[in-house]
Amino acid sequence: MLTGCTVEDWRRSPGPDDIVALVPWFANMVDHVATPPLKSWCPDDRPTCRQPVEGTVPITGPDDLVPPIQLAPTPANVRAMGRRFQNSAARTAESLERGRDRYDIFCALCHGAQGGGDGPIAAAMPIVPSLVSPQVQGYNDGYIYAIITNGRGLMKQYRQRVRGDDRWHIVNYIRVLQGIAQ
- Per-residue pLDDT of 13-47, as tens digits, reads 666 666 666 766 665 555 555 555 544 445 555 55
CA dihedral 133, 134, 137, 140 (to 10 degrees): -130
Q: Is the sign of the CA dihedral 48, 49, 50, 55 positive or negative?
A: negative
For the chain, the domains span: 67-181
- Tell me which range, 7-11, 20-24, 47-51, 68-72, is most confidently predicted by mean pLDDT: 20-24
Q: Give the chain's mean pLDDT.
A: 75
Write the CB contacts of 102 (distance below 8 Å, at least 6 apart in sequence): 162, 166, 169, 170, 173
Q: Could you name the CATH architecture of 67-181?
A: Orthogonal Bundle (1.10)
CA distances from 31 to 18, 19, 20, 79 (A): 11, 13, 12, 56
Which of the 8 DSSP states describes residue 115?
S
Task: Report pLDDT digits (tens) over 141-152.
Answer: 888 888 888 888
Whole-structure pTM over 0.85, yes or no?
A: no
Give the residues across from 155 on adjacent strands: 152
Query: In whole angstroms, what separates CA 43 from the centre of its chain?
Result: 13
Per-residue confidence (pLDDT) for residue 72, from 0 to 100:
56
The Cα–Cα gap between 30 and 12 comes to 19
- Could you tell me which residue, 12 or 120, shows the higher pLDDT? 120
